[in-house]
A and B are shown apart, each in its own frame.
Chain A
């Protein structure tokens, strides 16, 4: 069974940086597109970024220009680097796997999330 385990969350100061990781078990990581989705406390799901198996990336307007999504298919790991953190970046950050390599697909596997709190 494929599992996703996020790490790297914590308390960050406004203007600071964060680096999140998502470790995937199983041997099919490289053939799936991946995504980061976040959820502020008590709020709905908000898409953050996607990356295809070959490295094509897209970002939500709210994080574009200060975020970088990347992946290491040898380490079966997805990453998110975010700079110039804002209070509104406070959220539970989920790693999610696409059912295939198409961005039009659904997210069939989700991690349990890692909490990021941005506060002074």
Chain B
């Protein structure tokens, strides 16, 4: 089955740039979606189809997908960005939705 690998944690100072990676075999051939989940809340879609932003999501959030790694980049990080972030794809070979294990973003 297809596996997505994320770092368990990423730390960043306010105002700096955070990069959260999502590794998968030839992930560039798939569409990657990213979710933000604050404590006690439901997930929120922040990036879809690799690099598109839903309405209401700040331009500070961007995505890329190449080779075996997709990346969520958060520019000018704010305290409110502190949350768990999950990547997700559809694996058509198994007809399964796959989530990464999640990355806890800590704003120092």
Report A's interface with B, CB cutoff 8 A. 35, 37, 44-47, 50, 58, 60-61, 94, 96, 99, 103-108, 110-113
Contact = CB atoms under 8 A, between A and B. Distances in A.
B48 A106 contact: yes
B43 A47 contact: no
Contacts of B102: 44-45
Interface in B70-94: 84, 86, 88-90, 92
Interface residues of B, number: 27
Contacts of B43: 37, 45, 94, 96, 107, 110
Interface of B: 1, 30-31, 33, 35, 37, 42-45, 48-49, 54, 84, 86, 88-90, 92, 95-102
B42 A104 contact: no
A46 B45 contact: no
Nearest to A60: B96
A25 to B, nearest CB: 16
Contacts of A110: 42-44
